[in-house]
Amino acid sequence: MSERRALGLFVRLLGYYAVLAAAAWLVARWFPRGGPLFADRSPGSAAVAMLGALALVAPVATLYMRTKPKLRYDPSLVQTVIVLPIVIAGVVIGCAFALIALIALAMFILCFTPAPIRPMELIGR
């Protein structure tokens, strides 16, 4: 690959991330809370996280496809690079839901215990 082509790809990549950052900043300024659909720990916030992961990783996959020679090009690597961040973003939101459920369960148990209980005793039950 020539230096001129590499510089052009780098400038495009830098421009894409600059536009993406500006768009994210504008959306955050216009919609500071996002409404009830996009509140923390909601399906809307999970969708936003997954779409954000896709927006961040798409140029990386494109750059790989444009720079790799055809003999060494691996389409499964491109699919993995695209899908893995999206799945991780969904799993992290899912883990947050699970943690909230565990905390709610612990608080529920604490409400119905007659004597004060230490948090480590909940694990032994």
* CA 81 from centre of chain: 13
Q: Which residue has the tokens 């939101």?
A: 93
Sign for the pseudo-dihedral over CA of 85, 86, 91, 93: positive
Residue with tokens 């991780």: 88
- pLDDT tier for residue 123 given thresholds of 50, 70 and 90: low
Where exactly are the structural domains of the chain? 3-124
The DSSP code sequence of 34-69 is -TTTTSTTSHHHHHHHHHHHHHHHHHHHHHHHHHS-
The model's pLDDT over 2-43, given as tens digits with 9 standing for 90+, comes to 788 888 888 998 999 999 999 988 887 887 666 666 666 667
Best CA proximity match to 52, nearest among 100, 78, 88: 88
